[in-house]
Amino acid sequence: MHLSRSSLYALLTLSLTWTGSILGEDFGIHKDLEFASVDGHSLKLDRDLPIALNVLKSSGHAGQEFYEGIQRERIVAFLARHLAASGQDQDNAQPTEPFLQSPSYVRAPQVPNHAATNRAFQGIPSMAVARGGRLWADWYAGTTPGEDHNNYVVLSTSGDDGKTWREVLVIDPDGPGPVRAFDPEVWVAPTGRLYVFWAQSQGHDGSIAGVWCVHTDGADEEQPQWSTPRRLTDGIMMCKPVVLSSGEWVLPASTWRATDFSARMIVSADLGQTWSLRGGCNVPQDVRAFDEHIIVERQDGSLLLLARTKYGIGESVSNDRGETWPDLKPSAIAHPSARFFVRRLNSGNLLLVKHGAIDQRTGRSHLMAFVSSDEGKVWKGGLLLDERSGVSYPDGQQTEDGVIRVIYDFSRTGSRHILMATFREEDVAAGKPISEAVRLRLLVSEASGGQEKKPEPVRDNADGETLRRQKHGSLGTVEFRAEPLRRGAKLFTDRTYVLEDDLVALNGVSFLQIPLDGSKTLTCVRTGTVWLLTPTPDRNQDSCSVELSKQGFKRVSVPEVRLFNPKSTANFCTLYQKDCELNETITVGKWAVPLFFPQ
């Protein structure tokens, strides 16, 4: 990296000022509010320091932090090496790392490159509502089916309360180049200004990413004018900014996975003009994932931080306005390792949108809304927004009329849906729709095309034996109940998986809702044919096909069933059948669904 000599002097000045070191005097450094003087060089800070900051960040020493001891010595040594190597002045030098450069494309979508019909991936949405009622939503997408260098951010808007949407802006750092734009947020500030934030990086580590933004004062216009992109801080911001009672704005930005104290609180006291690090919460290394933390100011002035971990959700509370945070500890809220959403409502209560019941750790299904009137100690209600496997990453906003809008994604490389739900606090508290505001699964965007993965075909099992339906047997047990086998049915007592495919050959059949895990013994309570669904061993190592064969079951010549999560061949199940005698017992281990016709 080559920077101007004056920029390197400015960097040296700044770093030594941050450390509070007397070494500054050794270098002959003096500083006032606007200028720094080093060995006779007079430097204007607002000109030279932004360039110098990028050097400090790229060296691994990120943000305005207080360094001491050996850390301070390393910074000084690093700066001294660059200073010695620097030559003539190049005051307009730009950062050479691609991810530090301003994105090359920030304007209306370019067809076909950014068309919704040329996306193999889209998801991770955010939404906001302007003062005049215009809806805004953003997410990221790509021509390839994954989170990779092809990712770009899409901004869409609706002027008719979500009936129709139009994509009006794309942020694409370098097309097919190595830099990706991802994890966006859209937010309406108290000033009415609309901000679009995104992360920009190479790869997935938050330690080399940065939070960028553009803004507009025309939030109620379909095609407003946007500001020049600006890099605000290191890290990735996956959840909305928060406004404190002091009037300060807070960005919950994270340098996740590779650094300690990664769940950071970045603060602006001047309505977003400048930002600085106030403090950070340490996520213990053995449970670190993608922090995706949320900060909530409680009524007693303390700050509650909730973060994503490998085990679900961790929490920490700061009593000094965010300067210090105890290490993260497990929260009482059970959750998968996935984003959740918390926001203060107009009533003063807190809204939580998560997967499954408060005390139940599920997969990415059963997106539900809860409300708390005691600052998050107890959560009540439980309005089900979408029960399907593959729903994730809620975000939202409540407007002055009390309507809550939540946006989320479904099947990022399959259906590629961005969806919205609307409801009111009373619906959440009741745990069911009681107001006319409830609208679920509203389509915001549907993508297709790109370099999408072709779905794996099911096997026809043509060499199996003929399906027998002449004499229906029945299975029973005192522990488990029978349910009709239809789409949306919960398949196991210890999982939230729901049926996503049809078994046409056995239309009208019922199943026993048994646990997925452990050994189960079933009893034939009516003589006749019974069936079980299980994957073959090459599909899933937990297949029950071998033990079923030992008990006299035969494979049936009907196509495999994509039981749930149809993108995974491990869930493709084959039908087995057997004629059972009254009181005969059948033993199955993990991964089997018993089927029979009700009497």
> Do residue 161 and residue 303 come from a single domain?
yes
Residue 103: what residue type? P
Two structure tokens written together for 118: 């040329």
Domain limit, last residue, from 392, 427, 446: 446
For residues 279 and 312, membership in a common domain is answered with yes
**Which pLDDT belongs to residue 557?**
95
Percent of the chain scoring above 70 in pLDDT? 84
Per the model's pLDDT, the better-predicted residue between 203 and 87 turns out to be 203
Higher pLDDT, 368 or 95: 368
Residue 50 shares a structural domain with residue 130: no
The answer to whether residues 352 and 379 touch, using CB atoms and an 8 Å cutoff, is yes
Average pLDDT over residues 476-488: 84
Burial class (CB in 10 A: 0-12, 13-18, 19+), 45: middle
Pick the more confident residue, 29 or 145.
145
Q: How confident is the model at residue 418 (pLDDT cuts 50, 70, 90)?
A: very high
Q: Is the pLDDT of residue 70 over 60?
A: no
**Residue 154 clears pLDDT 70, i.e. is over it:** yes
pLDDT value for 45: 39
> What's the rounded mean pLDDT across residues 293-318?
97
In a domain, 92, yes or no: no
Average the pLDDT over each of 40-49, 186-195, 446-455 and give the range with the smallest value: 40-49
User: pLDDT tier at 7 (50, 70, 90 boundaries)?
Assistant: very low
Tell whether 18 is covered by a domain. yes
Same domain flag for 494 and 442: no
Quote the DSSP letter at residue 433: -
In a domain, 47, yes or no: yes
In a domain, 465, yes or no: no
Cα separation, 571 vs 589, in Å, equals: 16
Instruction: State yes or no: pLDDT of 432 exceeds 80.
Output: yes
Looking at 37, 52, 85, which one is the last position of a domain?
Answer: 85
DSSP string over 392-417: EEEEEEE-TTS-EEEEEEE-TTTT-E
What span, in angstroms and rounded, lies between the C-alpha atoms of 529 and 510?
13
Judged against a pLDDT cut of 70, whether residue 85 lies above it is answered with no
Tally of domains in the chain = 3
Task: Based on the fold, state whether residues 287 and 431 are members of the same structural domain.
Answer: yes
pLDDT confidence tier of residue 65, bands split at 50, 70 and 90 = very low
Residues whose CB falls within 8 Å of the CB of residue 474, separated by 6 or more in sequence, listed in order: 524, 525, 526, 528, 530, 596, 597, 598, 599
Mean pLDDT of 275-291: 94
Question: What does the pLDDT read at residue 455?
Answer: 75
- pLDDT tens digits, one per residue of 14-24: 444 443 333 33
- Here the tokens at position 393 are 């990453």
pLDDT for residue 88 is more than 70: no
Query: Do the Cβ atoms of 346 and 398 come closer than 8 Å?
Result: yes
Mean pLDDT, the chain, whole residue set: 86
Is the pLDDT reported for residue 316 higher than 50? yes
Rounded CA gap, 27 and 12, in Å? 9
Indicate if the pLDDT at residue 487 is higher than 70.
yes
User: What is residue 207's predicted lDDT score, i.e. its pLDDT?
Assistant: 73
Domain identity same for 113 and 53: no
Specify whether 481 is located in the same domain as 376.
no
For 438, the token pair is 């409830």
Q: Decide if pLDDT at 13 tops 60.
A: no
User: What pLDDT, on a 0 to 100 scale, did the predictor assign at position 583?
Assistant: 94
Q: Which of 52, 85, 118 represents a domain boundary (last residue)?
A: 85
High-pLDDT (> 90) share of the chain, %: 69
> In this structure, are 221 and 322 located in the same domain?
yes
User: Domain check: are 47 and 17 in the same one?
Assistant: yes
The pLDDT value given to residue 11 = 52
Q: What is the pLDDT of residues 160-169, one digit of tens each?
A: 999 999 999 9
Q: What is the mean pLDDT of residues 195-201?
A: 97
Tell me the pLDDT tens digit for each residue of 246-265.
Answer: 999 999 999 988 888 999 99
> What is the DSSP code string of 357-376?
-TT----S--EEEEEESSTT
Asked whether residue 457 is domain-assigned, the answer is no
Decide if pLDDT at 437 tops 60: yes
Q: Are 344 and 362 in contact (CB under 8 A)?
A: no
Residue 322 lies in a domain: yes
Q: Which domain holds residue 553?
A: 474-596
Regarding whether 110 and 76 lie in a shared domain, the answer is no
The residues near 192 (Cβ < 8 Å, ≥ 6 apart) are 130, 131, 217, 219
| Band of residue 312 on the pLDDT scale cut at 50, 70, 90 | very high
pLDDT band, residue 494 (cuts 50/70/90): confident
Tell me the DSSP string of 13-50: HHHHHHHT-THHHHTTEEE-SSEEEETTEEEEHHHHHH
> Could you tell me if residue 293 is inside a domain?
yes
Does residue 60 have a pLDDT over 50? Answer: no
Query: Residue 598's pLDDT is what?
Result: 75
pLDDT band at 599 (very low <50, low <70, confident <90, very high): low
Angle at 328 between CA 327 and CA 332, to 5 degrees: 145
The answer to whether residue 82 scores a pLDDT higher than 70 is no
pLDDT at 399 over 90: yes
Q: Are residues 134 and 50 in the same domain?
A: no
* CATH code, domain carrying 157: 2.120.10.10
What pLDDT, on the 0 to 100 scale, is given for residue 486?
A: 87
- For residue 475, the 8-state DSSP code is E
Decide if 64 is inside a domain.
Answer: yes
Asked whether residue 23 falls in the same domain as residue 110, the answer is no
